[in-house]
Amino acid sequence: MTTQYWLVKSEPEAYAWSDLVRDGRTDWTGVRNYQARNHLKAMHPGDRVFFYASVTTKAVLGLAEVTRSFFPDTTAEEDGWVAVEIKPVNTLPHPVTLEQIKGEPALKDTAFLRQGRLSVMPLTGEEFKVISKLGGV
């Protein structure tokens, strides 16, 4: 299976990159958007995931990996919502800010900029490479 690339967003006050690093892994729960849920369902172990801190930080801070495919989200009151498990891989040497992403021509069509309110979105292999380079990895 080919590795896929993703970006997940979290408000640092709710769950920060440092929380994921401390915890060693987490269930990515609480997604209540149908399109984002479909993205969770498409994730597979080994897929690479950028962690974006929204609201205050507005930067990609780290790289994570999917360790478990989708399963029922235990935080949901309704059936049908799912979660995946992720673990941290490494903190980016240079956080990649929203301004850097907006200023990078190779990222102008990324789902991150087109559908900024989604909390889970796909990245192309090329977009992943560009963000990796900006982040120093």
pTM attached to this predicted model = 0.96
Reported as a single tens digit per residue, the pLDDT across 26-58 is: 999 999 999 999 999 999 999 999 999 999 999
pLDDT at 41: 98
Q: Bigger pLDDT: 96 or 116?
A: 96
What does the block give as tokens for 132?
């990796």
Q: How far apart are CA 56 and CA 12, in angstroms?
A: 8
Q: Which residues of 100-121 are buried (b: 16+ CB within 10 A; e: fewer)?
A: bbeebeebeebbbeeeeebbbb
Q: What CA–CA distance (Å, rounded) separates 55 from 94?
A: 19
Give the pLDDT band of residue 1 (cuts 50, 70, 90).
Answer: confident
> How confident is the model at residue 64, as a pLDDT?
98
What is the per-residue pLDDT across 57-114, written as a single tens digit (0 to 9) for each? 999 999 999 999 999 999 999 999 999 999 999 999 999 999 999 999 999 999 999 9
Domains of the chain: 5-134 (3.10.590.10)
